[in-house]
Amino acid sequence: MTSEQLSTQNTTREADVLVQDNRYVDPSKPLVEIRDLEIEFTTQGGTVKALKGVSFDIFPGETVAIVGESGSGKSTTAHGIINLLPDNGKITGGQVLFEGEDLTTAKKSELYRVRGRDIGFVPQDPMSNLNPVWSVGFQVREAIRANGIASSKKDVNARAIEVLKEAGLRDAEHRMAQYPHQFSGGMRQRVLIGIGLAAHPKLLIADEPTSALDVTVQRVILDHLEALTRERNAALLLITHDLGLAAERATKLIVMYQGKIVEAGPSKKILQDPQHPYTKRLIESAPSLASQRISGAKVTHVGESGIDVADIAATHEDARAKQDITPVIEVNDLTKVYSIRKGNFKSTPLTAVDAISFKIPRGTTLALVGESGSGKTTAAKMVLGLEKPTSGEIILDGTNLSGISKKDLFAVRRKMQPVFQDPYGSLDPQRSIGAIIGEPLKVHKVGDAASRKARIKELLDQVSMPAEVADRYPNELSGGQRQRVAVARALALKPDIVVLDEAVSALDVLVQAQILQLLADLQSELGLTYLFITHDLAVVRVVADEIAVMENGKIVETGTADAIFDNAQVEYTQKLLEAIPGAGIDWIE
Amino acid sequence: MSDRQPEHYVAPIEDATVEVDALKLKERKSNLWLDAWRDLRRRVLFYAALLVVLVVLTMAIAPTLFTDVSPTLGCQLTNSNGASIAGHPMGFTRQGCDVFARVVWGARTSLSVGILVVVITAVIGIPMGAIAGFFGGKLDSLLSRIGDIFFSIPYFLAAVVVMSVLGQYRSVWVIALAIGGFAWASLARILRAEVLQVKNSDYVMASEAVGRGRMATLLSHVLPNSLTPVIVTLTIALGAAIVAEASLSFLGLGLNSNVMSWGQDISQAQSSIRTAPMALVWPSVMLTVTVLAFIVLGELIRDALDPKSRARR
């Protein structure tokens, strides 16, 4: 085949005429062959092997997904392919053959030619990967010029408009002059995908391209990405932590664990019939629509009242049957209006939370679900007393919190404690774990030093952490362990309600499953009531008794978990449910 | 698109023991300060700087440990600008006083001015910066504008004016107030910026959700986590304050001529710089070494407190 024959593949659009597509691709030969790739990082504590011999192929036009937890080496693999590692990283072994040429030993100039032109890259975080001081158009033009797609000013400009149009920007000509902050997260990611595909690369590497985005936006972006790569017959390497997403989008799935590939093969086959114990565990732990609510097992703990004789037969259902009819917390017409300052000394009101009402019966979980900007976190903050409601009332255990005195509010806080999203930000790095867990006791002057110490030990035991952790500092703990500590702190004052604000969103699947199980155990053991704030509907499936869906500050639908998942009434809820990655796949259960 | 079916690969099972979130504690406790201290302990330069600081500190507290020659009494004009002789290793000043004794006794003035300036800077700058950053809003605008006013006046120029006006009240306290009273604004700015960052942490929100008051939260969580740049700035400021005192004394705007200070001695020695340069060189060397020690110490602490810079080394 000659290059002329192949160029008939091209569509007749003007954009493609600008690209000299004279590169021949043989569909039966792998585009990229990765052989025993090894990568090391030099850190303070010595060298760390991030990749321990990774081998796989990517064929032309194929979509391959690498799935793994943080630290599994999935992103390192992606960066290793284009030899774009941070200063302290080094390829120490193996080969990356791109159309037969080894990129690990290629010269810098050669790599520059391949990057962008032959292999496009879509980075993870759309918020930080566009330079805020340059217009979007400038950055697209820069990429086009760097890839040598066009050189004259007119051609570059025309191609830039093309790229942005393909990326889904309607009035690309005008929006070119705008700056990244004028674009939403989804639009920025589209621009980055546009830049990645600008030179019609044969391979596009997308590193968690949608992790920072809402599910509905994620879906649109991935559809778009899929359409564009298919149109150009480009191969796509998708790096993700989301099994459902990987299986839905990729034909071939690679599961990585601790720098190695543990299982690779056809997506559906792996999802339905995993062979490796790690893959099995990963798939079992991933919450999906097919999952069931986790029920808490009563664990026997040596508490302050001696041995707690737990009724092991008591399941969650029993707990629910016994629950009080009076809700432990009731929220009526809660509203928060912020005034947004404008440049001209005026301000416009923004209704973040618009007259929401809900109640939570004792011992149950209400999930407040919504996308970013839906007002769910503002609602949580008002419930916690961290934000003053504009109007509406919060009734906690019969006490109306509006107009309550400072002293009473202080007392009420004991009944309600939060766990926040970011495990790395929610613990004071300069306090020992014991001091962190004991802080609520100290503030509320509960007990003396000795009894506080005993309580800290008991709390650590409840969250399955050894007592010696009390003397340590947060920097030695992983995200999941920090979140356990945060849970222990929340439980210190024996609250009735725990507000979990995206408490498991930042965690890896297996750790997330562990924490969710812990929360369920604690709920049935201590009769806790949870207000669970999240954007992740799959997680909601496994924790919630009741669900309230928020959109633009309003609750648009409420109901039991089963009712919402089986028979959502509102279009927005249906859209959310459909957008969950992997919704249409049969999972093993 | 190829219709090729990818083969199913499974790694040897014994390869991976799935360990979810295993707790890996280090042998020793570790936090920011402990790690910084361990880092400092391994650096030679730290010991060198610390040694200089300790020697100067000892000189200031107990000068008689170093010399039993009086720096003021027993000055004989017969020794004027004399070279070093036994018992007087650095020679004599124009007035015939022992240079070594004067250098040793001068440390007290320089160091007390330095320390007082740092205390005054901290006492004004830390509350101003912390409150402005933490409470924000109108209070921030007010405090920050006050800071801006002081920031816009070069502190040395202000000190010159103050010292000229208060000529008759010259003392260590007045000179320290004159320098520190105008130097705190930059510290307040640095701290405010740091507090702005720290106050958005979830642990600050968690502290308030427990019921700790705003002020208590500021003191117990926000301030301790914002102190890194403050400590570095203050260490370097100590050196700068010693320089400022010496400069004021050199200009004749420092302490009274009967008080010994390095700046004073440098000023007095300049008239005979051609005939007896050593009377000028020795106090200058002492001044430079001391200031350098504080600045190096500040830089080392900055490095040690920054995990990223530790990793780079």
Domain definitions of chain A by residue range: 3-129+201-285, 311-433+495-579
Question: Chain B residues with CB inside 8 Å of A261's CB?
Answer: 9, 11
Assess contact for A474 and A427: CB atoms under 8 A: yes
Nearest CA in chain B to A88: B312
pLDDT value, residue A300: 43
Q: Which residues contact B10 (CB under 8 A, 6 or more apart)?
A: A262, A263, A275, A276
A481-493 pLDDT, tens digit each: 999 999 999 999 9
**pLDDT in the model for residue A12:** 39
Residue of A476, A478, A502, A508 to mutate, testing the B interface (most B Cβ within 10 Å of its Cβ):
A476
Compute the average pLDDT of residues B152-157.
Answer: 88
Task: Please tell me the pTM assigned to this model.
Answer: 0.82
Which residues of chain B neighbour A420 with C-beta distances below 8 Å? 202, 205-206
Per-residue confidence (pLDDT) for residue A305, from 0 to 100: 39
Give the pLDDT confidence score for residue B190 in this predicted structure.
Answer: 95
Confidence band of A584 (pLDDT split at 50, 70, 90): low
Q: How far is A45 from chain B (nearest CA, A)?
A: 9
Written as six digits, the tokens of B258 are: 């009967």
Contact A276 B5 (CB under 8 A): no
ipTM rounded to 2 decimals: 0.80
Q: Residue A6: pLDDT above 70?
A: no
- Residue A401, pLDDT score: 85
**A46 pLDDT tier (thresholds 50, 70, 90):** confident
d(CA A392, CA A324): 24
- At A560 the pLDDT is 92
Alpha carbon of A285 to those of A394, A508, A509, A542, B16: distances in Å? 36, 10, 6, 11, 17
CATH tag for A311-433+495-579 (out of 3.20.20.140, 3.40.50.300, 3.10.290.10, 3.40.50.970):
3.40.50.300
CA of A490 to nearest chain B CA: how many angstroms apart? 9
Query: Which pLDDT score is estimated for A4?
Result: 44
Average pLDDT along chain B: 86
Contact A206, A196 (CB under 8 A): yes
Res A297: pLDDT: 64
Q: With a cut of 70, say whether residue B151 has pLDDT above it.
A: yes
Residue A308 binned pLDDT confidence (cut-offs 50, 70, 90): very low
Amino acid at A416: M
Q: Do the Cβ atoms of B206 and A265 come within 8 Å?
A: no
Residues of A within 8 A of B21 (CB-CB) are 478, 480-481, 510-511, 514
Residue A204: its pLDDT value, please? Answer: 93
Local confidence band at B312 (pLDDT 50, 70, 90 cut-offs): low
pLDDT at A56: 93
Please give the order of strands across the beta sheet that includes A327-341.
A347-361, A327-341, A391-396, A399-400
- Residue contact A477–B208, C-beta within 8 A: no
Q: Is the pLDDT of residue B5 over 80?
A: no
Chain A hits for B228, CB-CB cut-off 8 Å, are none
pLDDT of residue A424: 85
Of A264, A277, A486, the CB nearest to B18: A277
pLDDT at B130 (0 to 100): 96
Judged by a CB distance cut-off of 8 A, whether residue B201 touches chain A is yes
The confidence score (pLDDT) of residue B14 equals: 62
Phi/psi at A357 (nearest 5 deg)?
-135, 135
Residue A486 to residue B206, Cβ atoms within 8 A:
yes
Please indicate whether, in this complex, the C-beta atoms of B16 and A257 are within 8 angstroms of each other. yes
What's the rounded Cα separation, in Å, for the pair A335 and A355?
5
- Structure token digits, residue B312: 């780079």
Mean pLDDT of all residues in B155-181 = 88
The three-state DSSP-derived secondary structure of A273-312 is: CCCCHHHHHHHHHCCCCCCCCCCCCCCCCEECCEECCCCC
**CB contact (8 A) between residue B203 and residue A427:** yes
Distance (Å, whole) CA B86 – CA B223: 54
Mean pLDDT of A418-435: 90
Q: Hey, CA dihedral for B39, B40, B41, B46, is it positive or negative?
A: positive
Smallest Cβ–Cβ distance between B30 and the set A27, A263, A476 belongs to A476
Q: Is B203 on the interface with A (CB under 8 A)?
A: yes
Q: Which of A188-197, B117-126, B251-260 has the lowest mean pLDDT?
A: B251-260
Distance of CA A227 to the CA centre of its chain: 24
Q: What is the pLDDT of residue B47?
A: 95
Residue A410 has a pLDDT of 86
pLDDT in tens, A331-386: 999 999 988 776 677 778 889 999 999 999 999 999 999 888 888 989 999 998 88
Domain B41-87+106-312 is classified in which CATH homologous superfamily?
MetI-like (1.10.3720.10)
Q: What six digits make up the tokens of A73? A: 């080496």
pLDDT 10s digits, A82-120? 988 888 889 999 999 998 889 998 888 888 888 888 999
Query: How high is the pLDDT of residue A306?
Result: 36
Length of chain B: 313
Phi-psi region of B287 (alpha: psi -120 to 50; beta: other; left: phi over 0): alpha
| CB B170 within 8 Å of CB B249 | no
At B118 the three-state DSSP class reads helix
Touching check for B44 and chain A: CB below 8 Å?
no
Contact B202 A511 (CB under 8 A): no
Q: Do B6 and A252 touch (CB under 8 A)?
A: yes
Chain A neighbors of B39, CB-CB under 8 A: none
pLDDT for the residue numbered A310: 39
B28 reaches A (C-beta below 8 A): no
pLDDT at residue A496 in the model: 92
Q: Which residues in chain A are contacts of B30 at CB distance < 8 A?
A: 472-473, 475-476
Q: Under an 8 A CB cutoff, do A261 and B211 touch? A: no
**Quick check: B4 contacting A, CB < 8 Å?**
yes
Contact B209, B166 (CB under 8 A): no
**What percent of chain A is modeled with pLDDT above 70?**
89
| pLDDT tens digit sequence for B184-233 | 999 999 999 999 999 988 899 999 888 888 999 999 999 999 988 999 89
Residue in B6, B30, B311 nearest the CB of A266: B6
Q: Check whether A11 has a pLDDT greater than 90.
A: no
- CB-nearest to B2 from A27, A261, A443 is A27
Looking at CA atoms only, how far is residue B310 from chain A in angstroms?
A: 7
Instruction: Find the radius of gyration of the CA atoms of chain B.
Output: 27
Under the banding of pLDDT at 50, 70 and 90, the label for residue A231 is confident
Residue A3 confidence (pLDDT) above 70: no
Q: End-to-end distance of chain A based on CA atoms, in angstroms?
A: 49
Please report, as a single letter, which amino acid is at residue B56.
V
Residue B304 has pLDDT above 50, yes or no: yes
Count of Cβ atoms closer than 10 Å to residue A348 Cβ: 9
Comparing CA positions, the residue from A131, A150, A140 lying closest to residue A172 is: A140
* Rounded to 5°, angle at Cα A563 from A559 and A569: 80
How far apart, in whole angstroms, are the C-alpha atoms of residue A263 and residue A276? 7
CB-nearest partner of B26 from A28, A421, A476:
A476
Q: DSSP E strands: which ranges in A18-149?
A: 32-43, 46-58, 63-67, 89-98, 101-102, 119-122
pLDDT tens string A63-73: 999 999 888 89
- Residues of chain B contacting residue A278, judged by C-beta atoms under 8 Å apart: 16, 18
User: In chain B, which residue's Cα lies nearest the Cα of A407?
Assistant: B211
Q: Report the gap between the CA of B218 and the closest CA in chain A (Å).
A: 12
Burial grade of A464 (CB within 10 A; 0-12, 13-18, 19 or more): middle
- In this predicted model, which residue has the larger pLDDT, A419 or B272? A419
Q: Which pairing describes strands A497-501 and A416-419: parallel, antiparallel, or unpaired?
A: parallel
The closest alpha carbon to A86, from A76, A97, A71, belongs to: A76
The tokens describing B203, both together, are: 């642990």
Residue B11 with chain A: CB contacts under 8 Å: 260-263, 276
Residues with Cβ within 8 Å of A327's Cβ and at least 6 positions away in sequence, in order, are A359, A360, A361, A362
pLDDT given at position A314: 43
The answer, for B27 touching chain A at a CB cutoff of 8 Å, is no
Give the pLDDT of residue A551. 92
Kindly tell me if the per-residue pLDDT of A585 is higher than 90: no
pLDDT in tens, B88-112: 778 888 778 888 888 899 899 889 9
pLDDT value, residue B296: 93
Cα–Cα–Cα angle for A149, A155, A160, rounded to 5 degrees = 75
Q: Is A398 exposed, middle or buried (0-12, 13-18, 19+ CB in 10 A)?
A: exposed
Could A489 and B31 be called an inter-chain contact, meaning their C-beta atoms sit closer than 8 Å? no
Give the Cα-Cα-Cα angle A46, A474, A543 (nearest 5 degrees).
Answer: 115
Which residue among A251, A440, A481 places its CB closest to the CB of B21?
A481
Q: Is the pLDDT of residue A452 over 90?
A: yes
Residue of A61, A278, A477 lying closest to B2 (CB–CB): A61
- B1 vs A489: CB contact, 8 Å cut-off? no
Instruction: Report the alpha-carbon angle A173-A175-A180, nearest 5.
Output: 145
Distance between CA atoms of residues A376 and A368, nearest Å:
7
pLDDT of residue A558: 93
Residue positions counted in chain A = 589
Residue A588 is predicted with a pLDDT of 55
Stretch B144-155: mean pLDDT: 91
pLDDT over 70 at A25, yes or no? no
Name which of A230, A265, A465 is nearest B7 (Cβ-Cβ): A265
**CB contact (8 A) between residue B310 and residue A410:** no
Residues 6+ apart with CB under 8 A from A213: A126, A185, A186, A189, A221
**Amino acid present at A459:** L
- Spatial separation of the C-alpha atoms in residues A44 and B194, rounded to whole Å: 26
The pLDDT value given to residue A522: 93
Average pLDDT value over all residues in chain A = 84
pLDDT in tens, A147-187: 887 888 899 999 899 888 887 777 888 888 888 888 888 88
**Pairing of β A260-266 and β B9-10:** antiparallel
Cα of B212 to nearest chain A Cα, Å: 6
Q: Are B204 and B217 in contact (CB under 8 A)?
A: yes
B25 contacts A481 by C-beta, under 8 angstroms: no
Residues of A in contact with B4 (CB under 8 A): 28, 59
Q: Which CATH architecture has domain A3-129+201-285?
A: 3-Layer(aba) Sandwich (3.40)
CA distance B282 to B99: 8
SS3 for A331? strand
Token reading at A392: 């509406």
Domain ranges of chain B: 41-87+106-312
Distances (CA, A) of B268 to A361, A435, B56, B99, B192: 85, 57, 22, 12, 42
Which one has a higher pLDDT value, A346 or B280?
Answer: B280
